[in-house]
Amino acid sequence: MNTKFKTDVFEGLSKSLKTLSSKYFYDEIGDKLFVKIMSLPEYYLTRAEYEIFDTKSEDIIEKLKLNTLDTIDIIELGAGDGKKTKAFLKVLLAENYKFRYVPIDISQHALNALGASLKTEFSDLEIEIKQGEYFGVLEDIKTNKAQKVIMFLGSNLGNLDDEAAQDFLVKLSNALRVGDKIILGLDLMKPKEIVLPAYNDSQGVTKAFNLNLLHRINRELHADFDISNFGHAPEYDEKTGIARSFLVSKKEQKVCFNGDHTCFTFLKDEKIQTETSRKYNDAILQSFLQHTNLVQTSKISDSNNYFNSYILER
Ligand code: AVJ
């Protein structure tokens, strides 16, 4: 069960630039911390994207140019808490579109919670929960002839390094049929005075979120990280638009797994990279779409121009 986690951690800590994958942030505690992050004053991303869905869902729907003859599959990659999606589905229902909502997530727990809250809020909504990896599920429903709208929100694409993001878009485009659409939510490049505090909030929630990864490794992989010996250090390069978070070793130290079975040494100030959060602009997205069958047909921005909902079409 933990073997993939363990190999990934050992591999990452063996590199000359130590790395841990941000996908391991989201255990039970990590999920709760991320919910807190979403309402932090400094974390503008969620508010900006919610504003788009709250005030401009009509506009998004119009720009999707949906074929209303058939039932549409609205497929969301990553279930989330559904706040933005609910604002969107509400308008689709009000405009009498015939659709099914299909949230895909790796976490059955998150899906159950979302499913239950949707059932109470929208009794007429047709919902089909799919537990699994995005592409596994997309492959399974590829034969389904319905027009698809894929929702991939929250700037989650930004967690992938550039090459991986391009591969992801190629795979996504290959899972779609001509005429299918994507709503892709991306955080935009902006001054570091705005980006950095979003990853280094004054209450220390993001720091706790980052350090939780070490707690999780201690708990699940029987390591002996002394958490107080590590600091939280985000960086943002305005020129490239790439934000990264690091854990920094406050002193020279050794961390061992399973007693003394496997140990890793850390120099004073040595960093572990834990997360990439790329910020986009139109040109970067355009260049990433070059190797896909996708075209950008519109974009909708929030009032601060912090965040874009891009509409793509296969
Ligand atoms: C959910 C991946 C978009 O990178 O901004 C928030 C996760 N990490 N604070 C992001 C996150 C630290 C978030 N994404």
pLDDT, tens only, 246-264: 999 999 999 999 987 899 9
Q: Going by CA atoms, what residue is nearest to atom 2 of ligand 1?
A: 156
Beta-carbon contacts of 94 under 8 Å, excluding residues fewer than 6 positions away, are none
Provide residues with CB under 6 Å of ligand 1: 37, 45, 154-156, 158-159, 199, 206, 209, 275, 277
Instruction: Please tell me the distance from the alpha carbon of residue 185 to that of residue 176, in angstroms, as a whole number.
Output: 18
Q: Which residue has the tokens 């591999």?
A: 11
Residue with tokens 């992989």: 221
Query: Tens digit of pLDDT for each residue in 99-145?
Result: 999 999 988 888 998 999 999 999 989 999 999 888 888 888 787 88
Q: Rounded CA gap, 199 and 38, in Å?
A: 11
Best residue among 34, 36, 105 to mutate for probing ligand 1's pocket (most ligand atoms within 8 Å of CB) is 34
pTM as predicted: 0.95
Report CA(37)–ligand 1 centroid distance (Å): 9
**What does the CA dihedral 83, 84, 85, 89 come to, rounded to 10 degrees?**
100
Give DSSP secondary structure letters for 226-269. Answer: -GGGEEEEEEEETTTTEEEEEEEESS-EEEEETTTTEEEEE-TT
Q: Rounded distance, CA 179 to CA 57, Å?
A: 20
What is the Cα–Cα distance from 169 to 176, expressed in whole angstroms? Answer: 11
Helix (H, G, I), strand (E, B) or coil at 77: strand
Q: Are 247 and 24 in contact (CB under 8 A)?
A: no
Within 10 angstroms of residue 87's Cβ, the number of other Cβ atoms is 17
Task: Give 34 Cα–ligand 1 centroid separation in angstroms.
Answer: 8
Long-range residue pairs from 293-296, CB within 8 A, at least 24 positions apart, any chain: 293/173, 293/174, 294/169, 294/172, 294/173, 294/182
Q: Which atom of ligand 1 is nearest to the CA of 155?
A: 3
Q: What ligand 1 atom has the least distance to the C-alpha of 154?
A: 3
Q: Whose CA is nearest to atom 1 of ligand 1?
A: 156
Query: How many whole angstroms separate alpha carbon 202 and alpha carbon 184?
Result: 29
Grouping H, G, I as helix, E, B as strand and the rest as coil, residue 211 is helix
CA 63 / ligand 1 centre spacing (Å): 27
154 Cα distance to chain centroid: 6
Q: What is the 3-state secondary structure (H, E, C) of 146-161?
A: CCEEEEECCCHHHHCC
- Residue 196, SS3? helix
Quick check: 38 and 153 in contact, CB under 8 A? no
Q: Are 209 and 34 in contact (CB under 8 A)?
A: yes
Report ipTM for this prediction.
0.98
Structure tokens belonging to residue 89: 């589905």
CA angle in degrees (0–180, nearest 5) for 146-129-309: 65
What is the chain's pLDDT, residue by residue, as a tens digit (314 residues)?
678 999 999 999 999 999 999 999 999 899 899 999 999 999 999 999 999 999 999 999 999 999 877 899 999 999 777 899 999 999 999 999 999 999 999 888 889 989 999 999 999 899 999 998 888 888 887 878 889 999 999 999 999 999 999 999 999 999 999 999 999 999 999 999 999 999 999 999 999 999 999 999 999 999 999 999 999 999 999 999 999 999 999 999 999 999 878 999 999 999 999 999 999 999 999 999 999 999 999 999 999 999 999 999 99
Q: What spacing in Å lies between the alpha carbon of 277 and ligand 1's midpoint?
A: 7
Cβ–Cβ under 8 Å, residues 30 and 209: yes
Please check whether residue 303 is in contact with residue 292, taking contact to mean a CB–CB distance below 8 angstroms: no
Q: What is the largest CA-CA distance in the chain?
A: 65
